[in-house]
């Protein structure tokens, strides 16, 4: 069975600081994709970043980067220079075949 | 390109009624997935459709059903509503999940269902 675990239900960070959200997953598959999605209070889910499991290089999108440790099945999200607009629920997701598996989310609050 | 649209945005129903939710994917996207989101459970996968065929189904009772039309639009139906069905129902589309070509899902704004 595929599972995704986000062990931090809530986190906070000071504006302009850096924060890391953790995610671990469990799978016996070798080909898969990993994602971080952001859901602001308005509820529209937005893709933040994606990572192909076959790529060793960590994905980066502006202030967002991941630390992908395939052997450890870990996929953390680092947000640099946190902004007030980063306040949202963040979901880690895992895709294998044609089905997504989501973690329970981490609620991030950026404090001015 | 227009994003994923879902209608209606809000619904109030009573126990025992049935409801149909609609999802229009991004133009050209053929895969549509449905999720139930509740505060305690996160996102729970309902089902995924591709080219009018249900390929995957989550662990939900048979009261939850869906279909996809030839234009890739999808509907989800819940019969005999229960209080516990109150949730945000999210639809997501992708070009072709599992094809190895485009593996990103794009979400709609959701339909908020309240069962009284």
DSSP A50-86: EEETT--SPPEETTEEEEEETTTTEEEEEE-S--GGG
Inter-residue contact A11 to A21 (CB < 8 Å): yes
B9: confidence class by pLDDT, cuts 50, 70, 90: very high
Task: Write b or e for each residue in B68-106: b if 16 or more Cβ atoms lie within 10 A of its Cβ, otherwise e.
Answer: beeebbbbbebeebeeebbbbbbbbbbbbbbeeeebebb
- Tell if the CB–CB gap between B107 and A37 is shorter than 8 Å: yes
A contact residues 60-89, partner B, Cβ 8 Å cutoff: none
Cross-chain CB nearest to B55 (options A98, A100, A104):
A98
Alpha-carbon gap, residue B116 to B113, rounded angstroms = 10
Which pLDDT value is given to residue A75? 96
Which pLDDT value is given to residue A62? 92
Alpha-carbon gap, residue B105 to A72, rounded angstroms = 25
Alpha-carbon gap, residue B33 to B46, rounded angstroms = 7
User: How confident is the model over A43-59, as a mean pLDDT?
Assistant: 87
A85 pLDDT above the threshold of 90: yes
- Asked if the C-beta of A102 comes within 8 angstroms of chain B's C-beta atoms, the answer is yes
User: How confident is the model over B52-70, as a mean pLDDT?
Assistant: 93
- Tell if the CB–CB gap between A35 and B33 is shorter than 8 Å: no
Give counts: helices (H), strands (E), chain B.
0, 11
B98 pLDDT above the threshold of 70: no
- The continuous run of DSSP H or E covering B8 comes out as none
User: How confident is the model over B48-67, as a mean pLDDT?
Assistant: 92
Cβ-based neighbour number of residue A31 at 10 Å: 12
- Asked if the C-beta of A28 comes within 8 angstroms of chain B's C-beta atoms, the answer is no
- Tell if the CB–CB gap between B48 and A33 is shorter than 8 Å: no
A21 pLDDT above the threshold of 70: yes
Contacts of B92 in chain A (CB under 8 A): 45, 100
B contact residues 5-44, partner A, Cβ 8 Å cutoff: 31, 33, 35, 41-43
User: How confident is the model over B20-25, as a mean pLDDT?
Assistant: 98
Helix (H, G, I), strand (E, B), or coil: what is residue A111?
Answer: strand
Which pLDDT value is given to residue B95? 82
Cross-chain CB nearest to A103 (options B42, B55, B106):
B42
- Asked if the C-beta of A46 comes within 8 angstroms of chain B's C-beta atoms, the answer is yes
Q: Which residue in B15, B36, B37, B32 sits closest to B97, CA to CA? A: B32
Distances (CA, A) of A111 to A15, A16, A48, A86, B105: 6, 9, 20, 10, 30
Question: CB-based contacts of A105: which residues, under 8 Å, 6+ apart?
Answer: A6, A9, A39, A89, A90, A91, B42
B19: confidence class by pLDDT, cuts 50, 70, 90: very high
């Amino acid at each position: 069975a595929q599972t995704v675990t986000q062990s931090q239900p809530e986190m906070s960070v000071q504006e302009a600081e850096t924060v890391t959200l953790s995610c671990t997953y469990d799978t016996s598959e070798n080909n898969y994709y990993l994602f971080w999605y952001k859901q602001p209070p308005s509820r529209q889910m937005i893709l933040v970043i994606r990572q192909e499991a076959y790529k060793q290089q960590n994905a980066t999108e502006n202030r967002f980067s991941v630390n992908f440790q395939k052997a450890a099945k870990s996929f953390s999200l680092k947000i640099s220079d946190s902004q007030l607009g980063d306040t949202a629920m963040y979901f880690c997701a895992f895709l294998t075949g044609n089905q997504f598996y989501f973690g329970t989310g981490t609620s991030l609050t950026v404090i001015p | 390109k227009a994003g994923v649209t879902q209608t209606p945005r809000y619904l109030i129903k009573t126990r025992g009624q049935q409801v149909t939710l609609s999802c229009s994917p991004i133009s050209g996207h053929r895969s549509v997935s449905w999720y139930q989101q509740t505060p305690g459970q996160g996102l729970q996968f309902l089902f995924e459709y591709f080219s009018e065929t249900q390929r995957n189904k989550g662990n939900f009772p048979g009261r939850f059903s869906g279909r996809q039309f030839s234009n890739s639009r999808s509907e989800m139906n819940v019969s005999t509503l229960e209080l516990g069905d109150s949730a945000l129902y999210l639809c997501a589309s992708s070009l072709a999940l599992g094809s190895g070509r485009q593996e990103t899902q794009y979400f709609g704004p959701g339909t908020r269902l309240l069962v009284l």
